[in-house]
Amino acid sequence: MQDGNISPLTADTVSAPVDSGERRPSPEADVVSTHVLVAEEQVQKLRELARRTRIAQSEYLREAVEDLLAKYGRTGGEP
């Protein structure tokens, strides 16, 4: 996610996953950068939540991924 100073992507934008090669130190396993398209309404709500709580948007997104993996299992099986 980017701050409000950068124009949002449109649904017409074609993009592929991005790995900038940047690795940040983390107590967790290796962390990679990725790129996703998100509905503008969801982006605005996430920004507001992050602003109110002072928790980074990226933290909320990582939590959402963990919840999704827990829901469908981590083994890669079919849902």
62-77: per-residue pLDDT in tens? 999 999 999 998 755 5
Is 28 inside a domain boundary? no
What is the residue range of 58's domain?
Answer: 40-72
Is 78 inside a domain boundary? no
Is 30 inside a domain boundary? no
Is 2 inside a domain boundary? no
Is 3 inside a domain boundary? no
Is 65 inside a domain boundary? yes
9-68: per-residue pLDDT in tens? 444 433 444 444 444 455 567 889 999 999 999 999 999 999 999 999 999 999 999 999
Contact 8, 18 (CB under 8 A): no
Contact 46, 1 (CB under 8 A): yes
Domain count, the chain: 1
The kind and range of the H/E element at 46 are helix 40-53
Is 16 inside a domain boundary? no
